[in-house]
Amino acid sequence: MHKGQLVFAQLTAHLPREVFMQSVAQYAGPYPTLSFSHWDQFLCMVFAQLTSRTSLRDITMCLRSHSTKLYFAGFRGSIARSTLADANERRDSRIFEDFAHHLIAIARSLHARDSLDMELSSTVYAIDASTIDLCLSLFNWTPAANKRAGVKLNTLLDLRGNIPSVIRVTSTLVPDAHFLDHLPLETGSFYVMDRGYVHFARLIKFTQAAAFFVIRSRTKLHYKVLSSQATDEAPHVLCDQHILLTGRHTKNSYPVMLRRVVYLDIERDRTLIFLTNNFELQAVQIAQLYKSRWQVELFFKWIKQHLRIKVFVGNSANAVKTQIWTAISTYVLVAIIKKRLNAPASLHAMLQILSLNLFEKVPLEDLLASAAGYEESANPNPQLPLL
């Protein structure tokens, strides 16, 4: 089907270029693009993500080593370190932000029917934030919080497919709970959060929108118990109560009934307290929903390990955001291809195989179909003893 076409060209064929050009038309400035277009810039940054390049010189040198293949890979402009550096510094990062969100919408539609670890028909989102550390001497535009400079990646993760639904890049000084102001709340969906998002004036908006939240409670919370539910048949559930907040500020911010579930985590030998506005699910299901929040932690760990967002090829705020958004676009692109081609390999295996074959003329379907066979089995054969 793709005989003679480079793997990199087959990958980028899944990108809606007309949508990208609409973003360019919306945000493009006076910077000239005659010899190096926005699309060329985007392809360079995607190449950097797929091949783990860590500097501008590294990116351009590796690309120019394939000079006879660049045209067939989709590049039309001349590749130079200074040109790529200027583009990342001057071209509006919102071009790549908007395009990443469009790819996210495509990926979410493809993964909409994926199953969850629990029997629940509603959409479940996990909310969390992760700090990307930056060096103050190089990135002096970013304010430091607790002597730690960086930017914060606030994420709403759709647990069907682990696709980021909403991503917001902010300063580390912005509290996590502010991210809740930017979420499009969906009726009937569940939003799972850690206690850093306990802000009852914002949580009441979930109830008003008929959306459900599950959040870990802070230890010091003033409330009165309206009723207690039986927990004899629920393993490890210590308490299931309907409560009203009585704190000086909380009772006005959240004046309606809440549900309080106390759960014993046997694995870590700790007691967890959850608050939710859902009164229908079993208490054990509430605990399972919170446990599913760890998927967002794994998402942050995955992208930091396998994509280039810990070492940046530019020092300005615009260059850093451009790299972050192209990294997210790369992650989502691989997730889209995995679904469209029914690739059996994991995202990690796909990235490893793609990184070594971008300029090979191999059908992408065949390449990814064989990638699963290269992964180590869960129970590898034991090594024979040395004589």
pTM above 0.75, yes or no: yes
- What's residue 382's pLDDT? 45
Distance CA 260, CA 77 (A): 60
pLDDT of 279: 93
Mean pLDDT (whole number) for 210-223: 92
pLDDT of residue 239 exceeding 80, the answer is yes
How far apart CA 77 and CA 255 sit, in angstroms, is 60
Confidence (pLDDT) at 121: 74
User: For the range 281-287, what are the long-range contacts, defined as Cβ-Cβ under 8 Å and sequence gap of 24 or more?
Assistant: 282/234, 283/229, 283/231, 283/234, 283/237, 283/240, 284/234, 284/235, 284/236, 284/237, 285/118, 285/120, 286/214, 286/259, 286/261, 287/236, 287/237, 287/261, 287/263
Cβ(92)–Cβ(318) below 8 Å: yes
Query: Tens digit of pLDDT for each residue in 321-369?
Result: 898 899 899 989 998 999 999 988 888 888 889 988 999 999 999 888 8
DSSP track, 32-89: --SSS-HHHHHHHHHHHHHHT--SHHHHHHHHHTTTTTHHHHT--SPP-HHHHHHHHH
pLDDT at 380: 46
pLDDT digits over 76-111, tens only?
Answer: 988 999 999 999 999 999 999 999 999 999 988 888
Interval 206-234 mean pLDDT: 89
Q: Rounded mean pLDDT of the chain?
A: 85
Confidence of residue 190 (pLDDT cuts 50, 70, 90): very high
Greater confidence (251 vs 112) lies with: 251
- Angle, CA 33 vertex, CA 29 and CA 37 arms, to 5°: 110
Q: What is the pLDDT of residue 117?
A: 62
Range 237-255 average pLDDT: 92
- Res 228 pLDDT > 50: yes
